[in-house]
Amino acid sequence: MSATEYASAVAAVKAMESGLLTHSDIEQLIGTSALSETRNLMENKLSAPKTMEDVWDMLSGYAPDDELLRILLYRNDFHNLKAVLKAKLSGRDPADYYISPSNVPLHDIEEAFTSKEYDGLPLYMREAAEEAYDIATRTLDGQLSDSIIDQAALAAMQKSADDTGNAFMKKFASLTTVCADIKTAYRCSLMQKPRQFLERAICGSTELDKEFLIRAALSGTDGLLSQLEATSYNESAKMLRESPAQFEKWCDDIIVEHAQSARMQAFGAEPLAAYYIAKEAELKNIRILMICKECGTDRDTITERMRKLYV
């Protein structure tokens, strides 16, 4: 589809960008003294759409073709796959753990696990669903089952992005994979997981090779961080040395920085994808801020935890 066909959609999104929270807005929210004051100010500052479901409905409605944008929902798709599997095995209601927006209806995932027939799922998740169910029920290894699904999510995201040929989405998928793989390698190094587990847990990307990360993780935590320092993602090692929380913030920030690269585009699906990422980051900041306020966290700590803003 021609990029110019997105012109009206991009224009609409550009108009809504003015409603995104600014640094000044965040500072005002952090500076409130009472929780009620924070909530009231937030209600005044936060512009529609106010949920990711509404953001998706709006963007998919504007877009002449939302196929490329659907890659943004893969993380939710595979989260839901894990959630439904765990809920089913523990006798809980899967609806309590289902995240929206998603490409895959809850009923389809439930039906796949109930019938053991996976053809009703998207092609990109069938194999992972079947294998994860087998591992979880046959070996009771929930950690390995989760890892299989997580790795499949990253692989599916990268493949779909590659298939589109869209540079923005390819980079988004690659960055998402890098962050997830580094986090997995770090955790596995702490727990001294064997190569066999790492093979199923780490996905790999064009940015950070799978075998490199496996070898680095097997060398221990210090060895992993030292080897990461020799890559273009050396900042990740610095953040992990500070704390896992700082690393998580760094991951969120580099995704938003990537989204900002599409801000000046007048055509194409990229500005729509960037707005989705921006709104996701904004709502995450709101959740973090409100939790901190409820816990009585000091102003400097809240400021330190805030993610990068799109505007």
The reply to whether 274 falls in a domain is no
Average pLDDT over residues 191-214: 97
Tens of pLDDT, residues 146-198: 999 999 999 999 999 999 999 999 999 999 999 999 999 999 999 999 999 99
Average pLDDT over residues 16-37: 96
Q: What integer pLDDT is reported at residue 162 of this predicted model?
A: 98
Q: What integer pLDDT is reported at residue 1 of this predicted model?
A: 66
The reply to whether 34 falls in a domain is yes
The reply to whether 53 falls in a domain is yes
Q: Which of the four pLDDT bands, split at 50, 70 and 90, describes residue 224?
A: very high
Residue 2 has pLDDT above 90, yes or no: no
Residue 3 has pLDDT above 80, yes or no: no
CA distance 275 to 122: 25
Average pLDDT over residues 5-21: 95
Chain-wide mean pLDDT for the chain? 97
Tens of pLDDT, residues 33-60: 999 999 999 999 999 999 999 999 999 9
Residue 232 has pLDDT above 70, yes or no: yes
The reply to whether 138 falls in a domain is no
Tens of pLDDT, residues 101-132: 999 999 999 999 999 999 999 999 999 999 99
Residue 263 has pLDDT above 70, yes or no: yes
Q: What integer pLDDT is reported at residue 4 of this predicted model?
A: 86
The reply to whether 55 falls in a domain is yes
The reply to whether 63 falls in a domain is yes
Tens of pLDDT, residues 60-101: 999 999 999 999 999 999 999 999 999 999 999 999 999 999
Report percent pLDDT > 90 for the chain. 98
The reply to whether 41 falls in a domain is yes
The reply to whether 31 falls in a domain is yes
Q: What integer pLDDT is reported at residue 308 of this predicted model?
A: 97
Residue 265 has pLDDT above 90, yes or no: yes
The structure tokens listed for 11 are 């224009």
pTM: 0.96
Average pLDDT over residues 18-26: 96
Q: What total of structural domains would you count in the chain?
A: 1
Residues of the domain holding 302: 1-68+280-311
